[in-house]
Amino acid sequence: MTNWCDHCERAEEADVCSICGADLVPEEAGPMPWRWKFFFVATAIYLVFRLYQLIVWLTH
Ligand SMILES: [Zn+2]
């Protein structure tokens, strides 16, 4: 995984820039925000509900 140093404007393979010593680990490398988990769960429940409605509609 290649990181990018904004100070030196160069790619760096390590987590720390070898030129200026800046921390290059991107912020989005952290755990998934709970809002996204809630969004995916809500979407899954909605799709299951719509699928259930479709099956009921098809079998009647
Ligand atoms: Zn740098």
pLDDT digits (tens, 9 = 90+) for 25-53: 776 656 777 888 999 999 999 999 999 99
Q: How many domains does the chain have?
A: 1
* Strand residues in 1-60 grouped as ranges (E): 3-5, 10-12
Rg of the chain (C-alpha set)? 22
Structural domain range at position 11:
3-58
How much distance in Å is there from the Cα of 49 to the middle of ligand 1?
51
pTM of the predicted model as reported, rounded to 2 decimal places = 0.43
- pLDDT value of residue 30: 63
Distances in whole angstroms, Cα of residue 38 to Cα of each of 26, 33, 34, 50, 59: 23, 9, 6, 18, 32
- pLDDT value of residue 60: 83
Q: Ligand 1 is a single-atom ion; what residues have CB below 5 A from it?
A: 5, 7-8, 17, 19-20, 22
Backbone φ and ψ of 59, nearest 5°: -95, 5
